[in-house]
Structure 1
Amino acid sequence: MFKHSQLETVKAWLAHPAHAALPLHARIQRAIRQLILDGALGRGKPLPASRALAKSLGLSRDTIETAYAQLHAEGFIERRVGSGSFVAEATELASSRRHASRDTAFRSQAPNLSRRGESMFRSGGVRELLSPRPFAPGIPETRSFPLRLWERLERQVLKEVGTAALLHGDPQGVEPLRRAIADYVNLERGAHATADRVLILTSSQQALALCASVLLDAGERIFIEDPVYYGARKAFDAAGLECVPIQLDHQGLLVEQIVSEPRRARAVFLTPSHQFPTGATLSLDRRLALIEWAARHQAWIIEDDYDSEFHYAGKPTACVQGLDPHERTIYIGTFTKSLFPGLRIGYAVLPRELIEPMTVARTLLDGHSAPLAQMTLARFMEGGHFGAHVRAMRGIYAERLGLLAGLVGKHLDGIAEAQVPAGGLQMPCLLHPGLSERAAVDAARRAGIALLGLSSLHAAGHGQPGFLMGFAAYAPNEIEAAVSKLATALREAKC
């Protein structure tokens, strides 16, 4: 059990006004993390059982479990089946470095960060695996990418523009790429875009950070899906926004909760094409109701259409931006999922009144995206190669999704049930009642398999236990071997 002083530290975090915008589980997680970083909880020290700590704090056990799960995901604690939770061995290095810095004359006692800087640092950021392993989500197949064609187009650009491709670029992006993107989203997604309304960025994550800082002030409310994409939640938390979770059903976001919510919000974030992580598609009537709500309250709709190219069942619904006559929607897309992560090109289709403010704000972040990559991508799209590549990958991904769903049904019977999505690059699986999500994720990690727990994506921490399985980047034989290994690991761990 915690010492009295340690318990009081956690209680102080819960009660501090500066932390009021954070959900309870995040306050507990950050308080315990601070105790570890300060050396108050040494390596190998046991943490209180979740039930006991919940009783001491007067909270639900689920709230404590969610806090512990995040601490484990960040590497601060280890969880051992049947033994409990312990401070991780690796934390000694972090703790010793902190104490050493306090004793060194030429260093300040602690980083003098702003509240926003502290929030960004403590969030851990958004980090992707440099060497993907099954079943890390959101990673496309890169081994099938037409590299020789890309090299040829890049050489053409260099031959025609020469060293001009090495100079600073337009902060809004090169015009040929903006025009190609506008043509593409108009044709394929039913958008209303023109080249002058497209802003080229390095990623959808950058677009989310821009929206959070340009459209809202710290302390203002934004509606988010529950569960929600972790990158969006971290961007909004870092900006000091109050995230108000809105529940989902099989038709996506429950828009009626937004319409009837007495608390005003300046914006809503959603992934309507196939929601992350559930895969649900927002119905047309809810899209229209959301558009009218935004117009009535002069609120913004932040629409992340991150992997809309990959829809496997029926025709995809038109994007919200294309249905919005009031220009209250910011449409965000990325080539990270449709082409390859190393390209570092995303984009936003903006309402006219936001073009200049967002472009100016972007210059304060990184100035511009690399012109050579932009011009090469523009030719790739203009030549029809992008559409051909997406169509080819759509067929490959659909086959891999079907294979994965079948293998989960065969090998994980009695453990988890696949929730086959209509699109996307990952498939959610729900654990059978009584099984531990944390134990499953831990067992998979020890077997060299990456699973993203579903409950950690719920703001309220009350989601049904399960995990997300990315399938796009893995060949059929790799999927088969990984599912077999996962099944063995989960049964041995008695998950």
Structure 2
Amino acid sequence: MFKHAQLESVKAWISHPSHAAMPLHARIQRAIRQLIVDGALGPGKPLPASRTLAKSLSVSRDTVEAAYAQLHAEGFIDRRVGSGTFVAEMMEFSPGQRLSRRDAVARNQPPKLSKRGAAIFRSGGVREMMVPQPFAHGVPEIRTFPLRLWERLERQVRKEASAPTLFHGDPQGTEPLRRAIADYVNLERGARATADRVLILTSSQQAMSLCANILLDPGDRIFIEDPAYYGARKAFDAAGLECLPVRVDRQGIVVDQIIAEQRKAKAVSLTPSHQFPTGATLSLDRRLALIDWASKHQAWIIEDDYDSEFHYAGKPTACMQGLDPHDRTVYIGTFTKSLFPGLRIGYVVLPPQLVKPMTVARTLLDGHSAPMPQLTLARFMEGGHFGAYVRTMRGIYAERRDVLVDLVQKHLSDFAEPRVPIGGLQMPCLLTGNLSERTAIDAGRRVGIELLGLSALYATSDTRAGFLMGFAAYTPTEIEHSVKKLVNAFRAVSKP
């Protein structure tokens, strides 16, 4: 028979909310099994008769019989005709197997990780908001996405491709999508791409992690912009690289600092078309100087072209990859911001010699990207829908940017000054009053507004206090409402 404490333990286990999805007999079986594993029920100890336990738990006898049958099948209990049910004699756990007080304490201690694992854990990872709230940065508008058109194209793919889309896909990506991407970046971004140089990935973050681990060794140096995208720095730190921050001005990364640097670096990571977070565009002379530097030093250029589709003043500058005759540039793109985050499709255009090594490396991470969304996206691009959608959203985003600029200048001028971007999905604002960055961010969060602080994006002490305000995912009405909430929050914490 169970002691009172053991019976109460079983009742608590089966009624716990986290176990609600399990069938009742499985919950009873798991609860008794845990008592055995923990040593609370030792070898040879009798268990209650199924009828008795069923009455104690207010369940049917069949439910308890099903739990006992599973425990017997797993070898935890013996059932003897005419004698009853007992914990199996072989269930003798050594002191080392039982959970000791020392084990219990150890469970609450930080895990012993590898150096790389510890670095990844310390970084905090890259977290995206499940349901973004104003003014979360880098979030596109998804409410206007032509979902019915997408679903129709998906049905066409499913009908025509049928069963093959259910198998493993090509680790490099489906050929139709690689071809569509090559055509797109050649036409719109001035790239030099072919389908066999494109590798489909889940995101630009995965691309940066691949570059960090495949192109460089732990301890190698890499130049990064200062300030820089936090996901890039975290990827490089996790790979054990030494990041050398390089100042950014109105013309982008200061290439002269790279050329003059005595410490040898094997790569540079940058966002030349729309620098994150300042919004600066790298000038042509600096692009050419950087390409020349990479060629002379046999270094790599990691070009993150994360939101170049959304440029609001003239045509965007051609990507660096298209200007590089030496094939030292890895070009990274993503559909997370141009279409919708849940698509999880990014890509890299690689130098020919890197295609096979990078493709093999990605098979160790996640094997391949799902064929169905790849083929649907390929059809979306081939039919001209992608270009039309981007053109439409470019106009919508430009309007929303202008609305945000006007509202910030009108309502937040006592606290912050906007830096109007020529492209992208967010606007940097520099704090001008006596409100600290931390106070501003916390005040916004208390009223349901999300701001990304600028100072955390700097590696050096030469920081600018401020925050990023995403505008793409929010209507003019939503932007106005949120700005007014934000100014009231700022005023509340700035009162003497």
Which bracket does the TM-score occupy, shorter chain normalised? 0.7 to 0.9
Give the percent of matched residue pairs that are identical in Structure 1 and Structure 2: 73
8 Å CA contact 2:137–2:469 kept in 1: the answer is: yes
Match of 2:311 in 1: 311
State TM-score, norm by structure 2: 0.78
In 2, Cα distance between equivalents of 1:377 and 1:321: 23
Mapping of 1:103-142 within 5 angstroms?
103-104=103-104, 111-142=111-142
8 Å CA contact 1:418–1:430 kept in 2: the answer is: yes
- 1:294-325 CA distances to partner (integer Å, 9 max, x unpaired)? 00000000000000000001221100000000
Match of 1:30 in 2: none
Task: Return 5+ residue gaps in structure 2 as ranges.
Answer: 1-99
Larger Rg: 2
8 Å CA contact 2:223–2:245 kept in 1: the answer is: yes
Match of 2:146 in 1: 146
In 2, Cα distance between equivalents of 1:177 and 1:304: 20
8 Å CA contact 2:255–2:289 kept in 1: the answer is: yes
- 1:191-248 CA distances to partner (integer Å, 9 max, x unpaired)? 0000000000000000000000000011110000000000001100100110000001
Structure 1 residue 491, shift from structure 2 partner: 1.0
Mapping of 1:74-85 within 5 angstroms?
none
In 2, Cα distance between equivalents of 1:257 and 1:105: 50
Taking a change above 3 Å as real, the CA distance of residues 387 and 102 of structure 1, as seen in their structure-2 partners, is farther
In 1, Cα distance between equivalents of 2:107 and 2:349: 45
Taking a change above 3 Å as real, the CA distance of residues 251 and 101 of structure 1, as seen in their structure-2 partners, is farther
SS in 1 for 2:243: strand
SS in 2 for 1:364: helix
Mapping of 1:90-239 within 5 angstroms?
103-104=103-104, 111-239=111-239
Taking a change above 3 Å as real, the CA distance of residues 365 and 411 of structure 1, as seen in their structure-2 partners, is same
8 Å CA contact 2:427–2:468 kept in 1: the answer is: yes
Structure 1 residue 112, shift from structure 2 partner: 3.1
In 1, Cα distance between equivalents of 2:158 and 2:220: 46
8 Å CA contact 1:447–1:485 kept in 2: the answer is: yes
Aligned alpha-carbon RMSD (Å): 1.6
Match of 2:393 in 1: 393
Q: Does 1:343 align with 2:343?
A: yes
Mapping of 1:36-47 within 5 angstroms?
none
- 1:250-303 CA distances to partner (integer Å, 9 max, x unpaired)? 010000000111111000000001100000000000000000000000000000
SS in 2 for 1:380: helix
Match of 1:440 in 2: 440
Match of 1:451 in 2: 451
Structure 1 residue 105, shift from structure 2 partner: 8.4
State TM-score, norm by structure 1: 0.79
- 1:409-443 CA distances to partner (integer Å, 9 max, x unpaired)? 00001210000011000000000054311110110
8 Å CA contact 1:102–1:110 kept in 2: the answer is: no
- 1:51-105 CA distances to partner (integer Å, 9 max, x unpaired)? xxxxxxxxxxxxxxxxxxxxxxxxxxxxxxxxxxxxxxxxxxxxxxxxx995428
In 1, Cα distance between equivalents of 2:343 and 2:290: 33
Taking a change above 3 Å as real, the CA distance of residues 315 and 464 of structure 1, as seen in their structure-2 partners, is same
Q: Which runs of 4+ in 1 moved over 4 A?
A: 105-110
SS in 2 for 1:104: helix
SS in 2 for 1:469: strand
Q: Amino acid of the residue matched to residue 136 of structure 2? A: A
How many residues get paired? 397
Taking a change above 3 Å as real, the CA distance of residues 298 and 146 of structure 1, as seen in their structure-2 partners, is same
Match of 1:293 in 2: 293
SS in 1 for 2:494: coil
Match of 1:488 in 2: 488
SS in 2 for 1:493: helix
In 2, Cα distance between equivalents of 1:436 and 1:294: 40
8 Å CA contact 1:101–1:109 kept in 2: the answer is: no
Taking a change above 3 Å as real, the CA distance of residues 102 and 271 of structure 1, as seen in their structure-2 partners, is farther
